[in-house]
Amino acid sequence: MEAILETKNINKYFMQPVKFHVLKDISIAINRGEFVSIMGKSGCGKSTLLYILSTMDTAYEGELYIEGELMSTKTRNDLARIRNEKIGFVFQFHYLLPEFTVLKNVMLPALKLGRESEAVIKAKAMNKLAILGVEEQAHKKASRISGGQKQRVSIARALINDPKIIMGDEPTGNLDSKNSENVFNILRDLSDQFGLSLLVVTHDTEFAKKTDRIIEMGDGMVF
Amino acid sequence: MSRFKLILDISKTHLVSKFKQTAVAALGVTFGIGAYIIMMSFMTGLNGLLDGLVLNRTPHVQVYNKTDPTVVQPIHRYRADSSDAHYIHSIKPKVRLERIHNAIPILAELKQQDKVMGATPQATCKVFYLAGSNKLNGIVNGIEVDEEIRLFNFKDYIVEGDVTGIKRRKNSILLGAGIAKKLSLQVGDRVQVMSTSGATFSLIIAGLYQSGLAEVDDVQSFVDLKMAQQILGAGSNYISRIHVKLEDIEEAVPMSKTIKDLYDVEALDIKTANAQFDTGSDIRTMISYAVSITLLIVAGFGIYNILNMFIYEKMNDIAILKATGFTGSDVKWIFITQAMFIGLIGGALGIVLGYGVSVLIDNTPFETEALPTVTTFPINYDPAFYIMGVVFAVVSTFMAGYLPARKAQKIDPVEIIRGQ
Write the ipTM: 0.87
The size of chain B, in residues, is 420
Over residues A136-153, mean pLDDT? 86
**Each residue of A207-222: pLDDT tens digit?**
888 888 888 888 878 8
For residue B395, the number of C-alpha atoms closer than 13 Å in the C-beta half-sphere is: 10
Q: Are A80 and B322 within 8 A, CB to CB?
A: yes
B3 CB neighbours in chain A (<8 A) are 112, 114
The answer, yes or no, to whether residue A2 has pLDDT greater than 80, is no
Per-residue burial over A112-143, b if 16 or more Cβ lie within 10 Å, else e, is bbeeeeeeebbebbbebbebbebbebbeebbe
The predicted pLDDT at position B60 comes to 87
Chain B residues within 8 A of A111 when measuring between CB atoms: 1, 6, 9
For range B54-82, the mean pLDDT: 79
Q: Cβ separation of A92 and B420 shorter than 8 Å?
A: yes
- In chain A, the number of structural domains is 1
| Structural domain boundaries, residue A182 | 34-44+77-217
User: Which tops the pLDDT comparison, B329 or B418?
Assistant: B329
Which of the four pLDDT bands, split at 50, 70 and 90, describes residue A58? confident
Encode pLDDT of A87-128 as tens digits. 988 887 767 888 899 999 999 989 888 888 889 999 999 988
Q: Closest to B325 (Cβ–Cβ): which among A83, A98, A169?
A: A83
Summarize the confidence of residues B112-141 as an average pLDDT.
88
Task: Choose among A44, A5, A49: nearest CA to A26.
Answer: A49
* Domain CATH code at residue A107: 3.40.50.300
**Spatial distance between the Cα atoms of A100 and A137, rounded to a whole number of angstroms:** 12
**A81: which chain B residues are within 8 Å (Cβ-Cβ)?**
325, 327
A137 is a domain residue: yes
Q: Residue B25: what are its φ and ψ, rounded to 5°?
A: -65, -45
B322 contacts A97? CB cut-off 8 A? no
Q: How many CB atoms lie within 10 A of CB B297?
A: 15
pLDDT of residue B371: 66
List, for residues A24-51, the tens digit of each pLDDT value: 888 888 888 888 998 888 878 888 888 8
d(CA B362, CA B351): 16
Residue B345 contacts by C-beta under 8 Å, 6 or more apart in sequence?
B26, B29
In this predicted structure, which of A31-45, B36-50, B283-297, B367-381 has the lowest mean pLDDT?
Answer: B367-381
Q: Which residues in B lie closer than 8 A to residue A110 (C-beta atoms)?
A: none
Select from B2, B325, B414 the Cβ nearest to the Cβ of A51: B414
pLDDT band (50, 70, 90) for residue B360? very high
Contacts of B246 by beta carbon, 8 Å cutoff, 6+ apart: B60, B61, B115, B116, B117, B252, B255
| Region B244-265 average pLDDT | 86
pLDDT of residue A20: 86
A98 within a domain of the structure (yes/no):
yes
* pLDDT at residue B1, as a whole number: 54
* Averaged pLDDT, B304-310: 82
Residues in chain B within 8 Å Cβ distance of A97: 317, 320-321
Nearest to A111 among B6, B16, B420 (CB): B6
- The span from the CA of B172 to the CA of B153, in Å, is 20
Higher-confidence position of B82 and B262: B262
- Bridge partners (DSSP) listed for residue A32: none
Which among A51, A100, A112 has CB closest to B325? Answer: A112
More confident residue, B83 or B410: B410
pLDDT in tens, B98-126: 788 888 888 888 888 888 888 999 999 89
Say how many Å lie between the first and final Cα of chain A, rounded: 22
pLDDT at B356: 94
Higher pLDDT, B364 or B95: B364
Decide if A113 and B324 are in contact by the 8 Å CB cutoff. Answer: no
Q: Is A77 within 8 Å of B319 when comparing Cβ atoms?
A: no
Amino acid occupying residue A217:
M
The per-residue pLDDT for B314 is: 84
What is the pLDDT of chain A when averaged over all its residues? 86
Q: Report pLDDT for A202.
A: 86
Q: What does pLDDT average to over chain B?
A: 85
Using the predicted structure, report yes or no on whether residue B420 has a pLDDT greater than 60. no
CA gyration radius, chain A: 17
Contact B204, B171 (CB under 8 A): yes
For residues A190 and B64, give the distance between their C-alpha atoms in angstroms, rounded to a whole number. Answer: 102
Contact assignment for A56 to B323 by CB distance below 8 Å? yes
What is the dihedral sign for C-alpha B329, B335, B336, B341? positive
User: What was the pLDDT predicted at B100?
Assistant: 86
Instruction: Tally A–B CB contacts below 8 A.
Output: 75
Chain A interface disruption, residue of B3, B21, B324, most A CBs within 10 A: B324
Residues B312-335, mean pLDDT to the nearest whole number: 87
Q: Please, which residues have CB within 8 angstroms of residue B113's CB and are 6 or more apart in sequence?
A: none
Average pLDDT, stretch B296-305? 79
Percentage of chain B surpassing pLDDT 90?
Answer: 14
Residues in A whose CB is inside 8 Å of some CB of B read: 47, 51, 54, 56-57, 76-77, 80-81, 83-85, 89, 91-93, 95-100, 104, 108-109, 111-114, 118, 157, 161, 169
Residue A148 has pLDDT above 60, yes or no: yes
Structural domain contains residue A13? no
Does the pLDDT value for residue B373 go beyond 80?
Answer: no
Task: Categorize the per-residue pLDDT at A1 as very low, low, confident or very high, splitting at 50, 70 and 90.
Answer: low
Q: How far is B415 from chain A (nearest CA, A)?
A: 9
Euclidean distance between CA atoms B327 and B333, whole angstroms: 10
Decide if A157 and B1 are in contact by the 8 Å CB cutoff: no
Strand-pair partners of A12: A23
